[in-house]
Structures are given as C-alpha cells and as structure tokens.
C-alpha cells in the first residue's frame, strides 16, 4: 500500500468512526448522518480498492484516476450543502410559525379570557 | 357596546415605529369603529408600548420575522377571531388613513377579494426616484404578464382583503417583500382584485427599508419568488 493510499484510508476511516461516535452520543441526528456515512464509505472503498477507482475512471473517461476521487468528494460536499440549505429552510419555516403562534398566545394569555 | 355592521380589523405591521405608531393608532380609533391590531415585529424601541397605550391590540413577535411574516401574524389573528375583512396599512404614516373606506368598500360590497390602494390612480400625484419608477414599471409588466391583472401600483402595501384571502394568506404568504408576490398568490387562488386610488406620502420618520444594493436584491428575490409561486403547488 502506497503512502498516499494509507493516508486516505486512515482519513476516511477516521471520519467514519467520528460520525458514528457523534450519532451514538446523540450529538448528530441519524437523518443528517446518512449522507456523511455514505460519503466517507465511498471514499474509503475507493481508496482501498484502487483497481475499482481505475476501472471506474476509465468508464467515465477520466485520464487521471485520482481526480475521480476529487470529483466524488466535491459532489459529496455539494450534496451535503444542498441538504443543509433545505434543512435551514425547514427550520426557518418552523421558527416563523412558532414565533407567530407565540405572539398570538401571549395576547390571549394577557386578555385572560381568550375569544 | 355598539357592534359595527361588519367585523373589520385594521392591521399594522410595525418595526421600530415608536415615533409614529401612537399617533396613527389613536387617529384610527377616533375615526373608525374598527379594531386596530399592531404586530410588533421584534422592535427594540417603545413601539409596542406606544401602540398599546393608544388603544391597539398588540402582538409582540419574539424576533424580527420581516414585514410579510408580521403581516401573516395579523392574518392568523383575523382568521382565528373571525374577522370578515382586514385592512393593512403601514405604521410609518405613509398611508393616508382617510382613504381606508375606499379600499374597504369593494370588500364590504362583495365586489372583490382584495382591493389594493394605488398611489398612481386618480390625482394622487406620487413622485418617486427614477430607479423606483423603473422597478414599479418592471413589476407591473411582470404581474400583468403572468396573472392578467391590470395593476398600476404593484408594490403597494395598502390594501383590504376579505375572509377568503385572510384564510389563504394565513397559510401562504412570503416572509419578506410580499406585495408583488401576493398577486401571483391571488391569481393562483382565482381571487378577484380591484385597485382604488389612495394617497401616499414620503416617509416622515426613519429610513426606507430599501438601499441601493437592497434594491437589486429586492428585484431579484421578488422576481424569483414570483416565478416560483407561478409553478408551485398549494396544499
């Protein structure tokens, strides 16, 4: 195993373990961990099975196989960022509803007798 | 107590309007038999206290939601309390309150679902800067192209709506810059609209929420959300 292979195996394995540990301690919700786990597993597999990487890059027509690794990494980062934008939008919507309900409820409480 | 023949709510979203809100609320209370609701959009000044002591019902939002989010809080209030009509005006004195009966008339007469006050109809005589006029022209064409509504003042925040739109807006209303967007929402609902001439004044206190960079962002954001709303599904 070359040094660079060893490095990328170690890094993706460390990422995988770290994500699992965060989920186990409930610091990261399962739904948000799925993408991270998939991403780190794909990188791990492609670092170990280099002939897969080479074959795959030949199929898609990439001359320099490691750049496929970059491509996969960048795609994964984009995916996770979109996922975050969606999650933030959902939170924004929920937060707005909550603030509105709170303002309405405060007024009812102040009135004593609602409606 | 005498009940007015129609249950009408005058709603004012307000953010940092302590200088003007008290005056407006007391003028409204003197002039009309309608309930006045101020939605305080997370102001840090005395907006809430000033509005309350002038006789308005005040809803205090715990954080700033933006003008549309605040207006929607008023729609929710009107929906829950069974109001038949809602008039929305600004809290900074830009809208002439004597013109409220004009925007309300088509609603109470059942002639339209929404009546929007226009500063360009009649001899109201409004003058704005060149970029502002350009923006208004642009949105006029956009609204006309996509909804068929003929509007002169697409960014007007002075309007009255009936029960049907109160209920619809309670569910669907943009958080910020809602005025132009509202037309596509109304179009999707199949609502009937009317424009009536009203007077609007330059701001007395405070600054317009729109800066130069803000104006570009405004155009892009409003156009985008307008187009998205044209193809969105409403549940």
Q: Which one, of B125, B146, B109, B93, lies nearest residue B198 by Cα? A: B125
Q: Which one of A90, A102, A104 makes the best mutation probe of the B interface by having the most chain B beta carbons within 10 Å? A: A104
Inter-chain residue contact A100 with B81, CB threshold 8 Å? no
- In chain B, where do the E strands start and end? 8-14, 35-40, 57-60, 85-88, 114-118, 159-162, 193-197
**Which residues of chain A lie closer than 8 angstroms to B69, CB-CB?**
96, 99-100
Residue-averaged pLDDT of chain A: 89
Inter-chain residue contact B65 with A104, CB threshold 8 Å? no
Distance from CA of B60 to the nearest CA of A (A): 5
Inter-chain residue contact B69 with A107, CB threshold 8 Å? no
Complex confidence, ipTM = 0.84
Examine the pLDDT at A98 and tell me if it is beyond 90.
yes
Residue of A nearest to B62 (CA): A99
Examine the pLDDT at A86 and tell me if it is beyond 50.
yes
Please tell me the predicted confidence (pLDDT) of residue B204. Answer: 55
Inter-chain residue contact A106 with B59, CB threshold 8 Å? yes
Low-confidence ranges of chain B (pLDDT < 70): 1-5, 123-128, 203-210, 235
Examine the pLDDT at A17 and tell me if it is beyond 90.
yes
**Which residues of chain A lie closer than 8 angstroms to B72, CB-CB?**
100
Q: Which residues of B touch A (CB under 8 A)?
A: 39, 57-63, 65, 69, 72-73, 76-77, 80-81, 175
Give yes or no for a contact between B183 and B189, defined as CB atoms under 8 angstroms apart: no
In CATH, the architecture of B8-231 is Alpha-Beta Complex (3.90)
Distance CA A68, CA A58 (A): 10
**pLDDT band at residue A70 using 50, 70 and 90 as cut-offs:** confident
B135-171 pLDDT per residue, tens: 889 999 999 999 999 999 999 999 999 999 999 999 9
Please tell me the predicted confidence (pLDDT) of residue A68. Answer: 87
Q: Which one of A96, A98, A115 makes the best mutation probe of the B interface by having the most chain B beta carbons within 10 Å? A: A96
**Which residues of chain A lie closer than 8 angstroms to B76, CB-CB?**
100, 104
Please tell me the predicted confidence (pLDDT) of residue B155. Answer: 92
Please tell me the predicted confidence (pLDDT) of residue B176. Answer: 86
Sign of CA dihedral B42, B59, B96, B169: positive
A18-63 pLDDT per residue, tens: 999 999 999 998 888 888 898 888 888 888 888 888 898 999 999 9
**Which residues of chain B lie closer than 8 angstroms to A115, CB-CB?**
80-81
Please tell me the predicted confidence (pLDDT) of residue B1. Answer: 47
DSSP 8-state secondary structure symbol assigned to residue B56: -
For strands B193-197 and B114-118, give the pairing: parallel
């Amino acid at each position: 195993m070359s040094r660079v292979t060893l490095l990328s195996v170690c890094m993706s394995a460390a990422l995988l373990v770290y994500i699992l540990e965060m989920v186990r301690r409930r610091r990261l919700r399962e739904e948000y961990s799925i993408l991270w786990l998939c991403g780190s597993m794909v990188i791990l597999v492609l670092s170990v099975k280099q002939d897969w990487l080479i074959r795959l890059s030949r199929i898609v027509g990439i001359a320099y196989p490691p750049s496929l690794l970059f491509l996969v990494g960048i795609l994964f980062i984009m995916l996770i960022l979109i996922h975050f934008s969606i999650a933030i939008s959902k939170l924004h919507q929920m937060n707005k509803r909550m603030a509105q309900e709170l303002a309405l409820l405060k007024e009812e409480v102040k009135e004593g007798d609602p409606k | 107590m005498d009940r007015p023949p129609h249950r009408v709510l005058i709603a004012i979203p307000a953010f940092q309007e302590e200088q003007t809100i008290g005056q407006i609320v007391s003028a409204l209370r003197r002039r009309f038999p309608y309930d006045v609701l101020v939605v305080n959009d997370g102001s840090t000044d005395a907006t809430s206290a000033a509005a309350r002591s002038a006789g308005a019902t005040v809803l205090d939002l715990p954080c700033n939601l933006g003008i549309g989010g605040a207006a929607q809080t008023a729609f929710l209030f009107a929906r829950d309390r069974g109001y038949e009509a809602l008039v929305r005006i600004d809290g900074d004195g830009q809208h002439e309150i004597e013109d409220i009966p004009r925007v309300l008339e088509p609603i109470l007469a059942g002639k339209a679902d929404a009546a929007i006050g226009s500063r360009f109809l009649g001899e109201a005589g409004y003058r704005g800067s060149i970029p502002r006029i350009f923006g208004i022209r642009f949105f006029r064409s956009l609204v006309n192209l996509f909804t068929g509504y003929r509007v002169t003042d697409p960014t007007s925040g002075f309007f009255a709506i009936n029960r049907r739109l109160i209920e619809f807006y309670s569910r669907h209303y943009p958080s910020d810059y809602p005025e132009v967007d509202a037309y596509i929402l109304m179009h999707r609902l199949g609502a009937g609209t009317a424009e009536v001439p009203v007077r609007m004044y330059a701001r007395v206190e405070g600054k317009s929420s729109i800066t130069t960079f803000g104006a570009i962002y405004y155009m892009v954001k409003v156009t985008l959300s307008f187009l998205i709303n044209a193809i969105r599904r409403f549940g």
